[in-house]
Structure 1
Amino acid sequence: MAEVKPAAQALESALALLAAGAVVAIPTETVYGLAGDATNGEAVARIFEAKGRPRFNPLIAHVASMAMAEGIADFDPLSRLLAGKFWPGPLTLVLPLRAGAGIHPLVTAGLDTIALRMPRGFASGLIAALGRPLAAPSANRSGRVSATTAAAVAEDLGDRIRLVVDGGPAPVGVESTIVKVEDGRLRLLRPGGLTAGEIEAAAGIAVERQAGAAIEAPGMMLSHYAPGAAVRLDATDVRGGEALLAFGPRRAGGSEGAVAIKNLSARGDLREAAANLFSFLKDLDRHGADTIAVEPIPFDGLGEAINDRLKRAAAPRDGADANGN
């Protein structure tokens, strides 16, 4: 089983494993990541192996500085502006990959673009100490609920990896927002921990949504973030044998008969709800209900990212739909 070490004591152990081509679960401000050297094909393959992730779904490469990012990708003026405003933080930019950048092709899934993010905290220090970018999808088995605590990582992946770095609960609680600048347009590829409104305010142009787009970045497949139980959205009642994922001060009809109840935010705060989403889904799943009913959640602000994750968790599941984060 994986060793779980506090972040304050884990830097040397994590560096040694990464330098040897192993993978390490690390905390970030969004969710926990399963990190490997993005320039090492064997390390990247171990990420896919541990997650059971399809090879055609690209990974995010995490950097510690703009100098490192500029060695990997070509920045247009708008992407540079957004990086200056929101890095380090929960924003991923999809950019043209530089020739000779050294990123292994498994990271980009054969695309000529690269998804880049600059995280905060332990992850940033680890990347800087390693001197190379880290590919780091969420630290969970492919298609399952993302981990926001070290304990959740150890429960899901503890038999597949050697080290989990414990940095406490992830403060944002959902993955990064992914955007791409193309022909002067700003496209939202995945909603996340940075709202579209915040991005629009910084960019000075609208963020465009595009339904049914081809896979250009992580988190774009239909079935994703799924617990073992089925997920029923926009529930106004609770049916026999269901668990309830609640939101706000008022309950769905029949909630007193729920197998279990977790309220994302009793006061209706979307930021609190985002931080609780994955851990509460996992907790409800442990109660053995066949279905988790989810009360309606507003689409405003971070509600867009929360509803995106829930829609993917509720999507039909089969072998073709499974993917990672």
Structure 2
Amino acid sequence: MTDLIAANDAIERALALLQAGEVVAIPTETVYGLAGDATNGAAVARIFEAKGRPRFNPLIAHVADMRMAERIGVFDALSRKLADAFWPGPLTLVVPLRPEFGIHPLVTAGLDTIALRMPKGFGGQLIARLGRPLAAPSANTSGKISSTSGQAVARDLGGRIPLVVDGGPTSVGLESTIVKVEDGRARLLRPGGIAAGEIEAVAGSALLRGVTAGIEAPGMLASHYAPGAQMRLNAESIEAGEALLGFGSKRAEGWLHARAYMNLSESGNLREAATNLFAHLQALDRSGADLIAVEPIPFDELGEAINDRLARAAAPRDNPRV
């Protein structure tokens, strides 16, 4: 049985479960995370088991403060500058791992680097109380739509985990941006809740793009964030029976015949669209449509991260609902 408890009443229960090696779904500003003690191999294994996540896919370790972060990873000058600017917040930094700290190898998937983030709110408070970092991928079945509410987590993972901490809807709605510094230049590994331009303004140079060494961080699998329905992107017309995910004020031709319709942002606001993305995809998936058509979304600012998630959701996969 899975308990759903409001965040104001849940910290002692969550702390006791984590100390016992269990996993707990917690709210963060990005999406809900499935958290376990990153130094406890049994707890980390439970994360992979609950999600059905492949073990070659590394996890982010969440920290309470810079002191904890620097005990785990080695920060060059630029990584430290980015952490000072954006932490706590939706930025993950990939840095060399200090193996002596005791992060379990399952967290890093055998890499000699570690992905670190400092969350706001409940997550940060919980880590500070625990005194150890939390491994916390998104709280959803692996490859499926990330959860941005406690109720969404309970629908997906109910019965597999003991506790969902309900902190209400997440404020950002997309996973963190992931950056790795290489030879003094920052490389974007995954677009996310902080736009590339904001990071470039702090770094003082353009972000490098493209992956150089396979999977270096979470969220890099080709198929990810996927609903049960198939997806069709940049739709300019709609067939009867399709669900429609809209954006802005201009509708795709035939949209009135859609089986279900939701709009990420009627005003074309990309931050609002990011916040609504996963919840709207889940709602359209529950309509029973076999295909979700998505209207075009610009690539500027947070549109880069939104289009990244949509492309991975639409990628070929082994088990679509058809």
Partner of residue 206, structure 1? 206
| CA offset digits 1:46-102 (Å, max 9, x no partner) | 000000000000000000000000000000000000000000000000000013011
Partner of residue 180, structure 1? 180
Whether contact under 8 Å (2:29, 2:119) holds in the other structure is yes
| CA offset digits 1:21-45 (Å, max 9, x no partner) | 0000000000000000000000000
Alpha-carbon distance in 1 for matches of 2:228, 2:256: 23
* Cα 1:195/1:244, change in 2 over 3 Å: same
Partner of residue 42, structure 1? 42
Tell me, yes or no, if structure 1 residue 288 matches structure 2 residue 270. Answer: no
Whether contact under 8 Å (2:245, 2:263) holds in the other structure is yes
| Residue ranges of structure 1 left out of the alignment (5+ in a row) | none
Tell me, yes or no, if structure 1 residue 137 matches structure 2 residue 144. Answer: no
Alpha-carbon distance in 1 for matches of 2:274, 2:113: 28
- Structural mapping, 1:1-325, within 5 Å: 1-210=1-210, 214-318=214-318
SS in 1 for 2:181: strand
| CA offset digits 1:150-182 (Å, max 9, x no partner) | 000000001100100011100000000000001
SS in 1 for 2:179: strand
Deviation at 1:212, TM superposition (A): 7.5
Alpha-carbon distance in 2 for matches of 1:213, 1:143: 21
Alpha-carbon distance in 2 for matches of 1:147, 1:208: 29
Alpha-carbon distance in 2 for matches of 1:211, 1:125: 34
Alpha-carbon distance in 2 for matches of 1:89, 1:56: 26
The letter for the 2-side match of 1:46 is R
Alpha-carbon distance in 1 for matches of 2:199, 2:230: 33
The letter for the 2-side match of 1:245 is L
- TM-score, scaled to structure 1: 0.97
Whether contact under 8 Å (2:244, 2:294) holds in the other structure is yes
Deviation at 1:213, TM superposition (A): 5.2
SS in 1 for 2:101: coil
SS in 2 for 1:152: helix
| CA offset digits 1:174-226 (Å, max 9, x no partner) | 00000000112210000000010000001101101105851000000100000
The letter for the 2-side match of 1:271 is R
The letter for the 2-side match of 1:306 is I
Identity %: 73
| Residue ranges of structure 2 left out of the alignment (5+ in a row) | none
Deviation at 1:318, TM superposition (A): 2.0
SS in 2 for 1:100: helix
SS in 1 for 2:10: helix
Alpha-carbon distance in 1 for matches of 2:55, 2:97: 18
Alpha-carbon distance in 2 for matches of 1:112, 1:90: 23
Whether contact under 8 Å (2:189, 2:211) holds in the other structure is no
| Displacement over 4 Å in runs of 4+ | none
The letter for the 1-side match of 2:108 is T
Name whichever of 204-213 and 140-149 sits farther off. Answer: 204-213
Alpha-carbon distance in 1 for matches of 2:180, 2:63: 17
Alpha-carbon distance in 2 for matches of 1:268, 1:48: 37
Provide the aligned C-alpha RMSD in A.
Answer: 1.1
